[in-house]
Structure 1
Amino acid sequence: MYRVLVVDDEMIIADGLFEVLQTIPQLELDVYKAYSGMEAVRQFDRTRFDIVLTDIRMPGLDGLQLLEKIRERWPQCRVIFLTGYNEFSYIYSAIQYEKVSYLLKTEGYEKVIQMVEHAVAEIETELRAQSLLKIAQEQLDNMRGMLQNEYVKRILNEQLDVKEIHQEQFDELAIPLQADRPILIMLGRINSLSNRTTYSEKSRQLYRIKLIAEQYLSSHVSFIDVVNEHMDLIWLIQPLGDNLDKEGWERTLTFVKGNLELVQAACRESVGELLSFVLDDSTVSWADAAERFATLTMLMNYRIGQGCGMLLLDKQMVEQELQQSDGSHREKSQIRQAKLEQLADQLEHGQRVEFSKTLLACADSLKEIDSMHDVPAQELYYSIGLVFLSYMNRWNLVETVATQIGLHKLMQPGEHESWKVAFDYLARVEDILFNLQNQEEERRANAIISLIQKHIKDNLHNPDEVSLVKLAELVYFNPSYLSRLFKQVTGSNLSDYISSTRMTRAKSLLENPNIKIQEVAEQVGYGTATNFTRYFRKITHMTPLEYRTSIFNK
């Protein structure tokens, strides 16, 4: 839908063009009108317009001055000047601008329609133009660092399917690694970062450290470095070139180990920060990177002494101690946390298919466990139950859900005879919550559309009150979104609904012989009997008077 504004200080011209443009069958236009340049400026401050038809000579703010205002606010807007035979010299300076054309007032409505159609075609062509694609590509290049960071974090948090980890994606994001080869993972932490007072100061320190590490590592290894949500630094590393045999990996590991102390020293001296590092001592596939990263995070959190300036290069000793403390369970718990965060996010955003897949993956992890007293399995069940319970509390759904399923089992895994039965129960809770989501979305949409329809019926006499911009402001929506939502819920365009409602009201009023046709025109928002008659005849193929006569001759 394209938004059009008609500006003319002669009301009969503005009203006529307004009515004509509203009824172009091949275009869905949202049309507005203004009777002065200043009134038009107020409209520009309120919303964007795609096309403006304006008289060039108007008192107060004339067409050329209005053009300057349009260019300041909405530079992509097309402007069509309405001019007389004796105004060519006056309009010459205006048509030097891009996206500006002119039309003789004597050329009639058909020519106006052609000009508007041409303007719409230009807009649509520009939207598809290569220049926009080029701009988008430039913006993508500027965002690539952020996209790289997000993509790698999702790999390490087990939020990407293995099928999404491939070379084509690496190349698109300019990740200088090979997707079919293993990697080394290194984790770094600034021990004193919490002493920094502002986020920007912390970010500057992280950036300086990344540059220092690049200076020492880039000559012999390929890598990508990212920062996670805890402001830990993470490096994924491969040898340069094709040196990916066993000997190449050993040289790479030796090189990185040998330079980490130098990186620590340089950061201490030039940045004033003390760093701890945990470097994996064996390669890992991309598919298993999340699990290995969880292990490294635990090793960093495990700490030795105070952990300050720790440089852990051989994890065997610590892994043995973690194993004695049931480290394998802790590792699984950390990986599982990513799944739980996924579940909470997917439930909140109504991603039903994705939620089902994640829940099924959690259930599969327990399929080999027979005992309902298994502590890790109970932890997982409680955690998922808490995701559900938190969501229900937030949206006040506890009582509603309780009427459909026994909620006492939600935090009582012992109420189920097996883990399969337990997860079947969680899947039923999932269905109930997503069904309630859909019902609530539908209820809200219907309530909004009912409000819009009532406002239209109550304000047919005032065109400003039934404009798309005004209706969108009424429900705090973007005009385009409201237009799409109305079509989705009712099956008809908003403009068609307004026209239909006006016509129904007009016919009802015409059945009362005591109401003059001018009064009917005003009550349904057409302003003048001339405009009303033109539109009424177009719809019914008879004038309002002929319609009234036909009613009383029955």
Structure 2
Amino acid sequence: MKRGDDKMYSILLVDDEQYIRQSIIELVEWEKKGFFILGEAGNGEEALEVMEKNVPDILITDIRMPVMDGIELSRQIREKHPSVKIVFLSGHDDFDYAISGIKLNIIEYLLKPISINDLEQMLEKVHEALDEEKREANDLERIETDYLENFQGIKMSFLVSLITDNYKDVPEEEIKKLVETYRLNLKGDRQVILNVNIDKPSFRKSQLDNHNLEMMKFSLANVIRRIINKYLNGEVFNFTSNIVVMLSDTKETIDLYKDIIVKEISESTQKLFHFSVGIGVSEEYNSLSDAKLAFQSSITALNYGLLMKKNKEVYITDIEMTGSEKMVFDEANEMKLISLIKIGSKKELDAFIDELFQSCDGDSQTHFQIFLMELHVSVLKAYKSVIPIYDTDMLQRVQMISDIHHYQEIQEIREWFKEFCLTVVDSIQFQRKKKTDSLAKKSYDYLLEHYKDPTLSLKSVSKQMAISPSYFSALFKKENGLSFTNALIKIRMEKAKEHLLTTDCKVLEAAVDSGYTDQHYFSYCFKKYFGESPNKVRETFKEKELLI
């Protein structure tokens, strides 16, 4: 069996006794068992160094080791590489200790002294467990069975995502494929959303008041589904406290039956359940990518009816501008503009601004002015999300919104707006750089101040800096030129050396003063860093002093 085989799994072997490691490596026929040795290490610290370059499938580690034991190694691996499976090697005295590691992703343990037979049997069990995990992940028949069993839930999840997530940037063909996959009756070229809400006061007055409202909502959804199916295509599903109806058909069919459906839902509810409903009707839309906006407009219509105590059926087209009069700068465009200002490239921003201005070409003067103000406010939102307080220059630019109206040509206005956006981009980038520089310096100063704390870690310091460990790690290395671990080692080693050379302290005292609780581990790190042991460095220093 070759190393590249899918059934081959990599192993990192960790034990402080080299002869044990060597015996295990030489006596087991690894390839026949479906494994290969990725590497070996004498303690947890060395194992982590190996894993910086290559992450194994399985870690076999002794528990009792100098420098860093197996438990601490397992804890760190759980945080950095939680998918690695761990096998403990332990003596009888460590048995309970090994069992306590079950939450560290320990899958097997072997008692020392280890027999090759026990080790090979363990390897067979681990190999089978890993194979089973892989089979389950790739078992198409089982996946299909699970998929079909959960199909309604998956279908519902997609329908909800259509009305709550932004699909503006998703190609129409991709949305159509999803509609096919979930076997949805949403293949029409025109859509409308109805938002149906049970009127609570009338429900309480009905003889059904002692029934569960959710059960009634489920039953009502079935009634609405039967009504829809009589006339056209569509989907009906419950979402929060409402019933959402997505009608999808040709424009002619929608125009012919939309009003009839709305009326029939209202009347049938009253006749069958003896309570009334409110219905918010969205504008018509051509693409399913607009479902979120249509859903929001149906909510607006529904809320308008509740607020004004008007008709139980309210059409958004009766209370708001739609179609060609509706502003092109919608929520999706605003989010994209803000995102490009905060993290996009200037080239992308420039192209998107051109796109926005082209889309509003032909609007009336009043609508165009509203459009400009919305753009202006969105840019300020992006600025405020990064820089809470306006500086003097930005305050002046906020006041310059009136300057836009001095320009007569749309080209001039567009260039003015681009220049305004680029100024904000520069301000945000400067502030971000200033913040990262400050964080990097602050975190390095924190290490200088707290290096004696043996519990100091990337996680604890990132918590102090109020940022995530992964972002902190990348930021620290980029700005300080060293990884967090190497920077901490450097500080501790330099401080330890200074302590050893300027005082008569014992090595243990120098270790504790530098943040190490284990003298052997300290000496190991010291020699690795300086090339000589603590005592040797001290002796060399004294010899040089005598020569002077």
TM class by smaller structure: 0.5 to 0.7
SS of 1:102's equivalent in the other structure is strand
Instruction: Quickly say closer, same or farther: Cα 1:440–1:195, change in 2 above 3 A.
Output: farther
Cα 1:230/1:212, change in 2 over 3 Å: closer
The counterpart of 1:467, out of the listed 437, 450, 457, is 457
Q: CA deviation at 1:27?
A: 1.6
Hey, what does 2:435 align to over in structure 1?
444
Partner residue of 1:22 out of 19, 36, 45: 45
Note the 1:351-500 alignment, pairs <5 A: 359-368=353-362, 374-390=365-381, 392=383, 395-402=387-394, 406-464=397-455, 466-500=456-490
- Structure 1 residue aligned with 2:96, among 26, 43, 64? 64
Amino acid at match of 2:112: L
Name the SS for the 1:527 alignment partner: coil
Residues 100 and 449 of structure 1: is their aligned pair in 2 closer, same or farther, counting only changes over 3 Å? farther
Structure 1: distance between partners of 2:302 and 2:367? 23
Other-structure match for 1:78: 105
Superposed CA offset, 1:115-153 (max 9, x none) = xxx9xx99xx79994646889997996455344333355
Q: Return the alpha-carbon distance in structure 2 between the equivalents of residues 34 and 128 of structure 1.
A: 31
Out of 508, 514, 523, which is 2:498 matched to? 508
- In structure 1, distance between residues paired with 2:447 and 2:42: 18
Please list, as runs of the form range in 1=range in 2, the aligned pairs for 1:513-524 lying within 5 A after superposition: 514-524=504-514
Residue number in structure 2 paired with 1:11: none
The alpha-carbon deviation at position 392 of structure 1 amounts to 4.7
**SS in structure 1 opposite 2:388?**
coil
For the Cα contact (< 8 Å) 1:191–1:275, is it kept in 2?
A: yes
Q: Return the alpha-carbon distance in structure 2 between the equivalents of residues 333 and 148 of structure 1.
A: 26
TM-score of the superposition, structure 2-length normalised?
0.63
Do 1:153 and 1:228's aligned partners in 2 also have CA atoms closer than 8 Å? Answer: no
The percentage of counterpart residues that share the same residue type is 12
CA-CA distance at 1:363 after TM superposition: 1.3
Q: Which whole-Å deviations, capped at 9, do the CAs of 1:375-427 have from their partners, x for residues lacking one?
A: 11111112222233455566434325438x74432244223342222222222
Residue 241 of structure 1: aligned partner: none
> Quick check: 1:167 aligned with 2:167?
no
Q: Could you tell me which amino acid in structure 1 is paired with residue 473 of structure 2?
A: S
Instruction: Tell me whether 1:187 sits opposite 2:194 in the alignment.
Output: yes
- Whichever residue aligns with residue 145 of structure 1, its letter is M
| Alpha-carbon spacing, 1:106–1:165, altered in 2? closer, same or farther (3 Å) | closer
Q: 1:212 aligns with which of 190, 209, 223?
A: 223
Q: Structure 2 vs 1, CA of residues 171 and 472 (structure 1 numbering), >3 Å: closer, same or farther?
A: farther
Counterpart in 1 of 2:335? 342
Aligned position for 1:3: none
Superposed CA RMSD in Å reads 5.5
Q: Does 1:308 find its partner at 2:300?
A: no
Does the CA contact (< 8 Å) of 1:170 and 1:177 recur in 2?
Answer: yes
TM (norm. structure 1) is 0.63
CA offsets per residue over residues 400-459 of structure 1, 9 Å max, x none? 5438x7443224422334222222222222223233333333333333333332232333
For residue 84 of structure 1, what is the aligned residue in structure 2?
Answer: none
Aligned residues: 461
**Contact 1:191–1:309 at 8 Å: present in 2 too?**
no
Q: Could you tell me which amino acid in structure 2 is paired with residue 438 of structure 1? A: Q
**Equivalent AA in structure 2 for residue 211 of structure 1:** N
Matched AA of 1:104: K
Equivalent in 524, 534, 545 of residue 534 of structure 1: 524
Q: Deviations over 1:143-196 (max 9, x none)?
A: 5534433335567xx834655654234345654433xx5134253454847999
User: CA contact under 8 A between 1:401 and 1:433: conserved in structure 2?
Assistant: no
Contact 1:346–1:355 under 8 Å retained in 2:
no
Q: Which runs of 5+ in 2 are unaligned?
A: 1-13, 15-40, 56-60, 205-211
Q: Please say if residues 342 and 382 of structure 2, whose CA atoms lie closer than 8 Å, have aligned partners that are also in contact.
A: no
Aligned counterpart, 1:151: 162
Query: Could you say which residue in structure 1 is the equivalent of 2:269?
Result: 267
Is the Cα contact below 8 Å between 2:451 and 2:514 reproduced in 1? yes
Q: Deviations over 1:337-382 (max 9, x none)?
A: 435643576379745677666543331134457x9xx111111112
**Aligned equivalent of 1:177:** 186
Q: Which runs of 5+ in 1 are unaligned?
A: 1-5, 7-17, 80-98, 108-113, 239-243
Given that 1:409 and 1:415 are in contact with CA atoms closer than 8 Å, whether structure 2 keeps it comes out as: no
CA shift at 1:34, angstroms? 12
Conserved in 1, the CA contact under 8 Å of 2:197 and 2:241? no
SS of residue matched to 2:189: coil
Q: For 1:205-260, what per-residue CA distance to the aligned partner results, in whole angstroms no more than 9, with x for missing partners?
A: 7665433321332466442347899968441323xxxxx8x9xx65x876766555
Amino acid at match of 2:460: K
User: What letter matches 2:391 in structure 1?
Assistant: E
Instruction: Provide the C-alpha distance between the structure 1 equivalents of 2:143 and 2:422, rounded to a whole number of angstroms.
Output: 39
Q: Counterpart of 2:17?
A: none
Please give the secondary structure, in 1, of the residue aligned with 2:50.
coil
CA change 1:504–1:391 in 2 (3 A) is same
Q: What are the Cα deviations for residues 14-59 of structure 1, in whole angstroms up to 9, with x where unaligned?
A: xxxx993123331249x99999xxxx99x99xx969569696666x
Amino acid at match of 1:500: K
Amino acid at match of 1:531: Y
Contact 1:209/1:267 (8 A) holds in 2: yes
- Equivalent position of 1:104 in the other structure: 112
Change (3 A) 1:55 1:33: closer
For the residue of structure 2 that corresponds to 1:308, the secondary structure is coil
